[in-house]
Amino acid sequence: MDLYPLKFKPILKERLWGGTKLKDVLGKPIESDITGESWELSGVPGDISEVSNGVLAGTSLEELMAVKGEELLGKSVVDRFGNEFPILVKFIDAKQDLSIQLHPNDDLARERHNSFGKTEMWYIMDADPGGKLILGFNKNVDKGEYIQSLEEGTLLDLMNYEEVSEGDTFFINTGRIHAIGAGVMLAEIQQTSDITYRVYDFDRRDKNGNLRELHTGLAVDAIDYEKKDDFKVEYPHNKDVVNTMVDCPYFKTNFLDLDKKLHQDLSKRDSFTIYMCVGGEATITNDWGSAPIKRGETVLVAATSGAVDINTHGAKFLEVTI
């Protein structure tokens, strides 16, 4: 079983707040007008990714890990995470504002849900004029003030708003209250977890007329109430080299802005590598084969790949490892 660069079928998710950019801009095979998420590479139970290219087409990520665990993931990754794929990567299109939410840390998520927490990062791919994110509070608050704002319907007055444009990048620690605003399309990299505490949803109703569930009680003890300004990631944009964006305990992300072929030595990485294409097109090649990739597509390269060549005349990537 040669582990050539692997592509996967997108797992498409309809959302109340979703739109059509994943189809119109990224070319995803979508008929719905409310598709909010394309899960590009997922080990979440019930949403396991499936290979779409080459002789392994139709093979699930779970099956690959069972047969080729250390070769695919890297020994250090298997030692740490066992048979669980530790990263979930997505493209997200918010036609409407997402609910205001947060995610618990590892300890709380393990205790309450037998799950990982959810540390994540966002790379803005497209934003309508005035497109914004909510990231944390605009001042230090305490639990009592927060609860009072929910009761009085004034939570939005406590939120910190960030206007965004293409290329802006944000790191969201667990406990940080946040939301993607209307008109924003982004790439998301996160721990493998689908644990979300929704605290405010603009009083919207689903297609059946029901208000969506809020998780007020669970959220109160999971929120970081301190005002912080450490969420925006400043990173170099040097051409044709590897630019470090985020290096945290759960994932490492680099930015590649390529105008020509890049040869990468991966022999000391001991981790799989994910390439999310956020601009242009290229071909990714290792010892066992190659895969074309364009904006809105994702490729997984096995840990045993000693090197890769990225052949392009113009492409941008988020490169993700453990």
> Distance between terminal CA atoms of the chain?
23
DSSP 286-306: ETTEEEEEETT-EEEE-TT--
What is the number of alpha carbons within 13 Å of residue 253 lying toward its C-beta? 28
What local confidence, expressed as pLDDT, does residue 193 receive? 82
The answer to whether 186 touches 165, Cβ cutoff 8 Å, is no
Q: What pLDDT is recorded for position 1?
A: 66
Q: Hey, which residues does 43 pair with through a beta bridge?
A: 48
Map out the domains of the chain as residue ranges: 11-220, 242-321
Count Cα atoms within 13 angstroms, Cβ side, for 14: 7
Does the domain spanning 11-220 belong to CATH 1.10.260.40?
Answer: no
| Contact assessment for residue 112 and residue 307, using Cβ atoms and an 8 Å cutoff | no
CATH of domain 242-321: 2.60.120.10
For strand 184-191 and strand 87-94, is the pairing parallel, antiparallel, or unpaired? antiparallel
217 burial type by CB count under 10 A (0-12 exposed, 13-18 middle, 19+ buried)? exposed
Q: Are 180 and 133 in contact (CB under 8 A)?
A: yes
Rounded CA separation 173/121 (Å)? 8
Strand order in the sheet with 184-191: 11-19, 35-41, 87-94, 184-191, 120-127, 169-172
Q: What is the pLDDT along the chain (322 residues), one digit of tens a residue?
A: 699 999 999 999 999 999 999 999 999 999 999 999 999 999 999 999 999 999 999 999 999 999 999 999 999 999 999 989 999 999 999 999 999 999 998 889 889 988 888 899 999 999 999 999 999 999 999 999 999 999 999 999 999 999 999 999 999 999 999 999 999 999 999 998 878 999 999 888 877 888 888 999 999 999 999 999 999 999 999 999 999 999 999 999 999 999 999 999 999 999 999 999 999 999 999 999 999 999 999 999 999 999 999 999 999 999 999 9
One-letter identity of residue 146: Y
Q: 3-state class of 79 per DSSP? A: helix
- Cα separation, 224 vs 267, whole angstroms: 39
Pairing between β-strand 298-301 and β-strand 273-286 as defined by DSSP bridges: antiparallel
C-alpha closest to that of 117 among 105, 126, 128, 135: 105
- Spatial separation of the C-alpha atoms in residues 77 and 85, rounded to whole Å: 9
Say what the pLDDT of residue 194 is: 77
**pLDDT score of 115:** 82
Which two tokens mark 144?
């009592």
| DSSP conformation class of 96 | S
Q: Name residue 68's amino acid.
A: K
Active site members: 198
Domains 11-220 and 242-321 share a fold: yes
